[in-house]
Structure 1
Amino acid sequence: MSSATFSQTRSQALNLEKQTELLLSQYSRFQAAVTPEAGPDELRVLAGIKQLLEKRDDTITKLNRITEAQDINAVSTSKLQQLTRHKEILNDHRKSYLKMEAAIQDERNKNNLLFSVRSDITAHKKRTEQGASLNANDYILDERVRVDSANSFADRLLQQAYHTRDELYSQRQYLAGAQLRMLGAVQAVPGINVLISKINTRRKRDTLILATVISVCILLLFFL
């Protein structure tokens, strides 16, 4: 029963792979002739590819469950190889789809940018040719819009700079506090050293006095 289920599911996987290859071939044609925007046909093919990839993910998951449900000794090597191959083909198809989609989008962005630049050049030429008849107020308004845009960009940069300055100031205060604590510790060390030195001096003095007293007592005992 499990072998029959595996074969049926694998047959579905093969069918989905053929459908995916067909749609990928159709999608590659849009890469050869990129339009400013995705048309209905391109969107239909794109949606079909995504749907097929999702179905193939589900099919491979089902094949995994079938093989995992069987005894490890009962699973043939050919089934495992077939399952691995389906995963590899799915991965290759997904990479091809993503690569073509990225290439189409890049080409579309480039074409739109070129179109925008050409439109700006054409508009500039028209303004130049009609310079004598241009309305001064319209020109001033255009310049004002450009200046406002530049000011807005400058304001954003200044806000970022102020934020960075505040961060640096906060870090500087933290470092200054740490430095003060370090200096306090360093200054406290000499005081400890002086205290230890005084203790050692007093200990030596007491030892010397004790030794003198003992010597005197010995001499007195000897002469008496």
Structure 2
Amino acid sequence: MSNIPAKPDEDEQRTEAQLQDILERRSALISQLSRLLDSEPTASALKSTNLARHKEVLQQHRRELDKLKSNIGHQRDRANLLSNVRNDINAYRAQNPEQAEADYMLDERSRIDNSHNMTDTVLTQAYAINEQFGIQRETLTSINRRIVGAASQVPGINSLIGRIGNKKRRDGIIMGSFIAFCFLVFMYFW
């Protein structure tokens, strides 16, 4: 309902008239049913209950229609008020260009201040992350020192680590040679 027209259009008026007509016809029909029920010598409780229920539903529908019309009226008043305020502001700015320029400059300054605040926040986060990286680096260095110290104290670990390193190097050379061979064969047959 944000784009509600300032005045009810033809469709809205026609729909409202149709709803009022339907409610009036239902009311007349319920009145006829009530007269028929009153004219019966022995009215059953079921018929009386059904008639009462129809009257309740009709009243509920009337209240809902009134509530809907009221809501639309409030939305229309609000939209008119907002458009009137915007028109007044635009008219004031048109009559006072110096004030409009000053307002624009104040708005620009607030946008710049907001971007500076955002930049400060990002920088603060970056410094905190950098500090965490430093702490992690120190922790990893300490762990590495302990592992090297423990490895040097146990005999035979250095030679085992050396053999593992030599095997990884050899496997890397073999894989590199195989990939180069495959690439050359691919280039040759392409």
- TM-score normalised to structure 1 length: 0.42
